[in-house]
Structure 1
Amino acid sequence: MQKPLIAVLLASACFSLNAGAADLIQVYQQALANDATYASARASLSASRERIIQGRAGLLPTVGISGALSKNDNDFDPWNVGQLGTLPNGQPGTINSSGSNLRTNEYTLALQQPLYRWDRWETYQQSKLQQAIGEAQFAQAQQDLITRVAQAYFDVLAAQDKLESTRAQKDATTEQLASAKRNFEVGTQTITDTHEAQAAYDLVLAQEFAAVNDLDNKRNALQAIIGTAPGNLAALKPGTTLAVPQPATVDPWVSSAENQNYGVTVSQLQVEIATRDISRNRAGHMPTLDLVASSTRRDVNGRTGSSGDTKNNAIGLQWSVPIFSGYAVTSRVRESIALEDRARNELEATRRNAALQARQSFLGVNSGLAQVKALEAAEVSSQSALESNKLGYQVGVRINIDVLNAQRQLYQTRTDLSRARYDVIVNGLRLKAAAGSLRETDLTPVNSLLVE
């Protein structure tokens, strides 16, 4: 009896969760946990944090132990050992042989501490910059996730609005088609009105199929980010008033984009890495100095000959001065200088692109706000025009096609209005991303505009 009850409770819980509409912040939290692109950026950040440890390792001492174990068998016969011959006393006989059986066990504990190696110092400094690049790239990935989630979220809402508008237009067209058929049957209208209404109905039916397909595509795009099929989404509140960006002029946004954009930050760090790479390659002409120390022990055991242990401890300085390397160092220096010039040009291109994105997003927000205001007025006018055409159709001063056109204009205006509002919100987030100031908290005011 308990298992069916538990199943019912679980099913009820799942139904209640699916019935509630998820808002933008909830969808964003799903993306944080499931988006593969963001997970890849997080793994790259973890990898970049190991760079400093690896770079610092070249400046720290290295300690190692090595050894050798050998066995030496040697037979020595100065008198032609094992042969019959004349002995030293002049008598014939067999000469005895002599030999040795030596086992040698030797091991050495060695330490090397770099004292002056400029290339390793520059490598260590570059590792710090590489970790900073990883941090900046991860911050940029966070901003990209915010904008991608917002874009996919409002794309779904826009597709839903379009489908609802199309279906409302289909209902109105169906009613108009039925009215045209009735009027034709009673002889108050011609067959032309019926054909026009039928054509309008067939067209809106095709648009409905396209809208359904578009909604499926938009939901699939959102699913690719959050990892699961999206349920019901909270919609924008009716009559929502959208705020203008602050500051209200474009220059502060452009200035912020040119200096604080994460793409610009990455390019600046890459220029500094390229500059230090020149110094690192020039170190090929510089001397090196190391502190070396070793402790060696050698154990010798043999059948003949001496046996015993030998110990040796040593400490000193080891230096090296490069004289000629076949122009390899000079070539690497010229290569690194050219790469630094490339990095500086890429920095300038990135800075200009960030400024362009800031200008485009700023203009997108402001033009979108103006478009929203104009479309709100157009919606009121289109509604009045439709009502007037319906009344004129009833009294015979308007024909069927006038009503159909007025209906089409009203529903298209509503679709354009919802799309314009969504574009304003997304462009506002993109504007902050271009300026390098977009944070998760910026989703809170956007989320407050939504309602189940």
Structure 2
Amino acid sequence: MLRRLSLALAVAAASYGTAWADQAPSQAPLASKTDLVTVYQEAARNNADIAAARADYQAQREVVPQARAGLLPNLSAGANLANTRTEVDSPANSATRSGTVYQANLSQPLFRADRWFQLQAAEASSEQAALELSASEQNLILQSAETYFSVLLAQDTLASTKAEEAAFKRQLDQANERFDVGLSDKTDVLEAQAGFDTARANRIIAQRQVDDAFQALVTLTNREYLAIEGILHTLPILAPTPADAKAWVDTAAAQNLNLQAINYAVDAAEDTLRQRKSGHAPTLDAVASYQKGDNDSLGFSNSAGSINRFSGDVEQRSIGLQLNIPLYSGGLTSSQVREAYQRVNQSEQLRESLRRQVVQNTRNLFRAVNTDVETVQARKQSIISNQSALEATEIGYQVGTRNIVDVLDAQRQLYSSVRNYNNARYDYILNNLRLKQAAGTLSPGDLEALGAFLKPDYDPDKDFLPPDLARAAEAQLRGDLDY
């Protein structure tokens, strides 16, 4: 009697043949495998987006000294070289002055309400930029994890599709053997061939997805990776702590970095409004000037009509206060005030929209993590159930109560349950990190905690299944051999 197919046998047979062996990525030595924390550190050093965000922050910081400059003294100096000829009635009564004039001017704002509020707005904008950079750096933590686990998921999916292809190949071989001895008709062979061809196509697609996932890792870090460490199946699958959605929402409202940043955006808009209103206020500056120049030939007519000529340096000093009271500027200031009012309203509405989004995301992710906890266990159990269903279907096929289509469908269900289990496992990991990001608590320490459950010698072809299931499959296989 034909032996029943077990999952362990399918995994062991996944390496059959050499049709795709040359296409699989070469395995690097164990020492060269990269872990999650290293990938994040390389991303922090080499990622182009985070480098651009840091440059943008450094540029945004400069608005503060630029605004402060409007409240500090303004000192300028210059020189003027000219030749001036003045004629009075006739060339005989002309005066000529030539030479160089040096001058210096000093202005110190005493009352500039608009510039003061401009400085306040600039400081708020700088704080906003700092928080936005922190949010970008925090997002890089999540992005590193998402890219890393996308590679692991793609590798596990490839391993399961290879095992599925091996199982369908065995089924095709068995169908050919049964057809050769007259135990089945050609239809069974064709059905088995169709199933094998589909599994082979899925394996080819899965291989490309592994390559794509590694390419995403290169894009993130600007480094090539031969292999990365896999996650152990012993990773605890636990509900989030605290187990209260409201507590997570309250934490997010207080610590979410994007929400904190937009609070400063509102502050900046309000200070800008005050600045625009101050356009109606008077300004007061202390001014001082100094001027010195030489007169080669300078003359003026006196009361008797004669020309007095003198030469030498002329020096002039002045100091005083300059008051400016704006009266009318064509409606410019009033228009700017109205614009600033709307900008404040816009920033407040954007803050409210973001607050609602943060609340929604936090609640949704809290529910997602709790769902993932149950889903992982359910998916794990479904592998055992589908394996039992497959073996029962094969027995029915051997005794004639089931046809080959039933067997092929049962095989598809088995390997689909394997892929669903791995999807649920990685969804749990990433949704946990996303929940912490929404709450504003995500840090590199979370990646270090995951690193404790990485397996340096992880082999996707063997480790895409939990080890207890593999042992159960082996036990079932031994029972099959004794059947």
Shorter chain as normaliser: what TM range?
0.7 to 0.9
Distance in 2 separating the partners of 1:144 and 1:358: 15
How far has the Cα of 1:385 moved from its partner? 2.7
Shift in Å, 1:419: 1.0
Unmatched segments (≥5 aa) in structure 2: 1-26, 300-308, 457-483
Task: Report what 2:150 is aligned to.
Answer: 155
Q: Distance in 2 between matches of 1:39 and 1:254?
A: 31
RCO higher in structure (CA 8 A, sep ≥6):
2
- Equivalents in 2 of 1:154, 1:401: separation in Å? 35
Describe the SS at the equivalent of 2:327. coil
- Secondary structure of the 2:323 match is strand
1:348–1:163 distance in 2 versus 1, CA, 3 Å: same
Distance change >3 Å, CA 221–CA 104, structure 1 → 2: same
For normalisation by structure 1, the TM-score amounts to 0.88
Say if 2:405 is the partner of 1:410. no
Q: CA deviation at 1:20?
A: 2.2
Does residue 37 in structure 1 map to residue 41 in structure 2? no
User: Residues 258 and 352 of structure 1 are in contact (CA less than 8 Å); yes or no, is this contact kept in structure 2?
Assistant: no
Identical-residue share of aligned pairs (%): 36
Q: Amino acid of the residue matched to residue 112 of structure 1? A: S
TM-score, normalisation: structure 2? 0.82
Shift in CA distance, 51/303, structure 1 to aligned 2, threshold 3 Å: closer
Q: Quick check: 2:178–2:184 contact (8 Å CA) kept in 1?
A: yes
Which range is displaced more, 239-248 or 198-207?
A: 239-248
User: CA deviation digits over 1:297-341, x for unaligned, max 9?
Assistant: 121123982111222222211111112222221221111112111
Larger radius of gyration: 1
* Residues 288 and 321 in structure 1, CA contact (< 8 A), matched pair in contact too: yes
The Cα shift of 1:141 comes to 0.3
Q: 1:98 to 1:315 in 2, by over 3 A?
A: closer
Deviation for aligned residue 1:104 = 3.0
Q: Once the two structures are superposed, what CA deviation does each residue of 1:119-177 show, in whole Å capped at 9, x if it has no partner?
A: 00001111111110111110110121111111111111111111110111111111111
Could you tell me how far apart the structure 1 residues matched to 2:72 and 2:229 are?
57
Alpha-carbon RMSD: 2.2
Distance 1:420 1:75 in 2: 97
For residue 336 of structure 1, the aligned residue among 320, 340, 346 is 340
Deviations 1:362-416 (A, max 9, x none): 1111111111010111112222333344445455555433332332222111111
Distance in 2, matches of 1:118 and 1:18, equals 66
Match in the other structure for 2:324: 320
Aligned to 1:266: 261
1:434 to 1:397, Cα distance in 2 relative to 1, 3 A: same
Partner of 2:83: 71
The answer on whether the counterparts of 2:101 and 2:293 sit within 8 Å (CA) in structure 1 is yes
The alignment covers a number of residue pairs equal to 421
**Structure 1 residue runs without a partner (length 5+):** 1-14, 82-96
Q: Is the 8 A contact 2:28 2:226 kept in 1?
A: no
User: Map of 1:1-80 to 2, 5 A cutoff?
Assistant: 20-73=32-85
Letter paired with 1:141: S
Give me the whole-angstrom Cα distance separating, in 1, the residues matched to 2:29 and 2:116: 57
Matched position secondary structure for 1:355? helix
Equivalent residues in 2 for 1:103-114, closer than 5 Å: 103-114=98-109
Counterpart Cα distance in 2 of 1:24 and 1:411: 27
Q: Deviations over 1:70-117 (max 9, x none)?
A: 123567895xx8xxxxxxxxxxxxxxx676553232121111100000
Asked whether the 8 Å contact 1:257–1:351 carries over to 2, the reply is no
Match of 1:281 in 2: 276
Partner AA of 1:155 in structure 2: S
**Contact 1:19-1:232 within 8 A present in 2 as well:** no
Partner SS, residue 71 of structure 2: coil
2:22 counterpart residue number: none
